[in-house]
């Protein structure tokens, strides 16, 4: 194994993380509520460690980055980044125990938005802004960012992006990986900026607008208010965030195609987008109807139902209504949406619509084959045949995903807390990077009740989910640590 190269790339990731703390530092200078020193020290520590790791190993420029090493870099990179991202929480006194700070940091980077922080209004602005920044970085991916800034870091960069980007296969926008990463970040910045401006127009303060724009863009869900977006209680804010949560669940390649001249055809031609749109609209309508008895008018029901569905399916996790009090049919659709998630190549989590679509086609084929075994049947997406390898990988992925949710639920139950629904949905919401679950981790509660063991397991589950299982599973195989 090429240890020097791995250490070098990890160093670059940390250095970039340190740089990303600077805006939070500047904000803390403005608000002056006691976290300036904590952020300043965090920046120094993170950049110093990162620079040392980047500069000290003299690695051969021609060294060959193996696929296995790509996975290891991604998995270790995320764990390390989360650990260093917890430093500001510890130094500022937001948390006194590292397990809580680490949970909060992982939850930020994996864009889960599950919190163990018992939030109150006007808490230290710099640290809270850092928490939102972690969503923004984690959404598009830190290795994608690293490659956008340092495209010459290693050869075979596709290995790294492949391991970090969500979806069954990697689609490049332009031939160079570094260039692709730059384009993705430009689109990301543009959309974030649009939402920021829209929220300003709705009357939010620039600070609130930035925190919520970051949290939406990464499909994270940390708000700087204890009651989340419900704190604003404003129809325009709800509409803007509903629309943008949906938009950040769309494959970014489609925005690129939109911008280079295909316009809206880019979206409608894409089978995954059509399915995503169909699922979102039909679930919203169904939930709106189920909730009619619960709300006074159709439009009130539509407002809360659409916000909540958009929030869950894009795996953001913002809250304007306590869905655990909704009719049980609505709750069930919410759980389904937690499994499905959004499109590949977006900032969202979940199994991903494209995989669900392939699984549906695969099931249909299996049923038909039972009656007519000799018929050759090809699974098509966008009218193109899908490689059988990918089909079987997708099926295995779905099985592993569900198994992970079940095993995760069992492991946190070992702590002896809560009930089956709570622990199972806690596991699901963490693997899918949503945020809120049901029962004692419902939309108006948080994860503070879990102990060290529960928080550690849930932190791991979030990382498994964000990196789409394989990079994390590989860390637990013996062959990953072999030299050869």
Partner 1 sequence: MRIIVIGAGKVGYTLAEHLTQEEHDVTVIDKNDDVIERCSGSLDVICIKGNGANAKVLLEAGVEKANIVIASTESDESNMLACLIAKRLGAQYTIARIRDPEFNESQTLLQNELGIDVAINPERATALEISRLLRYPFAGSIESFARGLVEMVEFRAQEKDAIVGIPMKDLASKVPHLPRILYAMVERNNSVIIPDGNFAILPGDKVFVSGDMVTITEFFRFLGRYSQKIRSVMLLGGGRISYYLSRLIVPMGIHVTLFELDSQKARRLSELLPRVDVIYGDGTDQDLLQEQGLSQVDAFVSLSNRDEENLMTALYASRSGVQKTIAKNSRMAYMDVLNDLGLDSVISPQVITSSTILRYVRARENSNGTHIERLYRLIDGNAEAIEFVARKGDPYIGIPLKDLNTRKGSLVSVIVHQGKIIIPFGKDHIEEGDHVIIVSRNLGISDLNEVLYR
Q: Are 139 and 109 in contact (CB under 8 A)?
A: no
Instruction: Give least dist CB 177 to partner 1, A.
Output: 5
The number of residues in the chain equals 484
Instruction: Give least dist CB 369 to partner 1, A.
Output: 23
Instruction: Give least dist CB 463 to partner 1, A.
Output: 25
Which lies closer to partner 1 via its Cβ, residue 171 or residue 205?
171
Which lies closer to partner 1 via its Cβ, residue 181 or residue 237?
181
Which lies closer to partner 1 via its Cβ, residue 177 or residue 347?
177
Return left, alpha or beta for 60; rule: phi > 0 is left, psi -120 to 50 is alpha, else beta: beta
Q: Per residue in 215-244, is it b (16+ CB within 10 Å) or e — as a string?
A: bbbbbbbbbbbbebbbbbeeeebbebbbeb
What is the longest distance spanned by two Cα atoms in the chain? 73
Tracing tokens 């829209």 back to the chain, one arrives at 198
Which lies closer to partner 1 via its Cβ, residue 172 or residue 186?
172
SS3 for 202? coil
At 384, which helix (H) or strand (E)?
Answer: strand 384-385
Pairing relationship of beta strands 384-385 and 380-381 according to DSSP bridges: antiparallel
Which lies closer to partner 1 via its Cβ, residue 179 or residue 234?
179
Instruction: Give least dist CB 396 to partner 1, A.
Output: 18
Residue 277 CB-density burial (10 A; 0-12 exposed, 13-18 middle, 19+ buried): middle
- Site residues for partner 1 per CB under 8 A: 67, 156-159, 170, 172, 174-179, 387
User: At a CB cut-off of 8 Å and minimum separation 6, what does 389 contact?
Assistant: none
**Structure tokens belonging to residue 167:** 């979806």
Which lies closer to partner 1 via its Cβ, residue 178 or residue 437?
178
Rounded Cα–Cα distance for residues 365 and 250 (Å): 27
User: At a CB cut-off of 8 Å and minimum separation 6, what does 147 contact?
Assistant: 153, 157, 160, 161, 177, 178, 181
Which lies closer to partner 1 via its Cβ, residue 43 or residue 183?
183
Instruction: Give least dist CB 397 to partner 1, A.
Output: 19
Instruction: Give least dist CB 67 to partner 1, A.
Output: 7
User: At a CB cut-off of 8 Å and minimum separation 6, what does 79 contact?
Assistant: 463
**Structure tokens belonging to residue 435:** 């945020």
Rounded Cα–Cα distance for residues 415 and 450 (Å): 8
Which lies closer to partner 1 via its Cβ, residue 157 or residue 422?
157
Which lies closer to partner 1 via its Cβ, residue 157 or residue 429?
157
Which lies closer to partner 1 via its Cβ, residue 74 or residue 229?
74
Instruction: Give least dist CB 204 to partner 1, A.
Output: 41
Instruction: Give least dist CB 175 to partner 1, A.
Output: 4
Instruction: Give least dist CB 162 to partner 1, A.
Output: 9
Instruction: Give least dist CB 170 to partner 1, A.
Output: 8
Cα–Cα distance list, 223 to 162, 180, 317, 388 (Å):
30, 31, 10, 42
């Amino acid at each position: 194994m090429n240890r020097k190269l791995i250490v070098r790339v990890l160093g670059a990731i940390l250095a970039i993380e340190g740089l990303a703390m600077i805006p939070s530092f500047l904000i803390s200078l403005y608000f002056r509520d006691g976290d300036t020193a904590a952020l300043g020290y965090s920046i120094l520590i993170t950049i110093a460690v990162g620079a040392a790791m980047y500069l000290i190993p003299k690695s051969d420029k021609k060294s060959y980055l193996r696929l296995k090493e790509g996975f290891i870099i991604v998995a270790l990179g995320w764990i390390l980044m989360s650990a260093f991202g917890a430093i500001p929480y510890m130094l500022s006194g937001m948390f006194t125990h590292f397990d809580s700070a680490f949970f909060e940091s992982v939850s930020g980077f994996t864009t889960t938005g599950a919190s163990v922080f018992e939030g109150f209004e006007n808490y230290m602005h710099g640290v809270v802004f850092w928490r939102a920044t972690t969503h923004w970085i984690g959404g598009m991916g830190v290795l994608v960012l690293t490659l956008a800034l340092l495209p010459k870091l290693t050869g075979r960069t596709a290995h790294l992006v492949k391991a970090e980007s969500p979806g069954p296969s990697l689609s490049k926008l332009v031939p160079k990986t570094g260039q692709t990463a730059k384009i993705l970040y430009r689109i990301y910045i543009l959309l974030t900026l649009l939402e920021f401006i829209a929220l300003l127009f709705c009357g939010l303060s620039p600070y609130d607008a930035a925190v919520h724009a970051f949290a939406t863009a990464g499909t994270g869900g940390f708000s700087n208010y204890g009651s989340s977006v419900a704190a604003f209680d404003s129809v325009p804010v709800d509409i803007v965030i509903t629309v943008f949560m949906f938009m950040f669940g769309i494959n970014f390649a489609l925005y690129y195609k939109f911008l280079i001249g295909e316009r809206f055809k880019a979206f409608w031609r894409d089978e995954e987008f059509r399915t995503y749109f169909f699922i979102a609209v039909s679930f919203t309508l169904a939930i709106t109807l189920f909730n009619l008895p619960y709300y006074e008018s159709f439009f009130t029901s539509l407002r809360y139902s659409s916000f909540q569905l958009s929030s869950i399916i894009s795996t953001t996790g913002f809250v304007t209504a306590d869905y655990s009090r909704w009719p049980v049919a609505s709750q069930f659709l919410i759980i389904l949406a937690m499994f499905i998630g959004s499109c590949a190549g977006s900032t969202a989590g979940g199994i991903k619509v494209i995989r669900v679509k392939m699984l549906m086609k695969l099931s249909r084929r299996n049923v038909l084959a039972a009656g007519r075994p000799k018929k050759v049947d090809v699974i098509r997406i966008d009218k193109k045949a899908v490689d059988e390898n990918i089909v079987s990988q997708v099926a295995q992925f779905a099985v592993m995903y569900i198994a992970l949710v079940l095993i995760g639920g069992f492991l946190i139950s070992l702590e002896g807390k809560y009930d089956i629904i709570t622990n199972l949905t806690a596991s699901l919401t963490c693997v899918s990077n949503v945020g809120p679950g049901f029962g004692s981790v419902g939309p108006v509660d948080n994860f503070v009740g879990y102990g060290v063991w529960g928080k550690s397991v849930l932190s791991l589950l979030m990382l498994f989910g964000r990196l789409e299982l394989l990079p994390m599973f590989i860390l637990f195989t013996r062959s990953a640590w072999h030299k050869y």
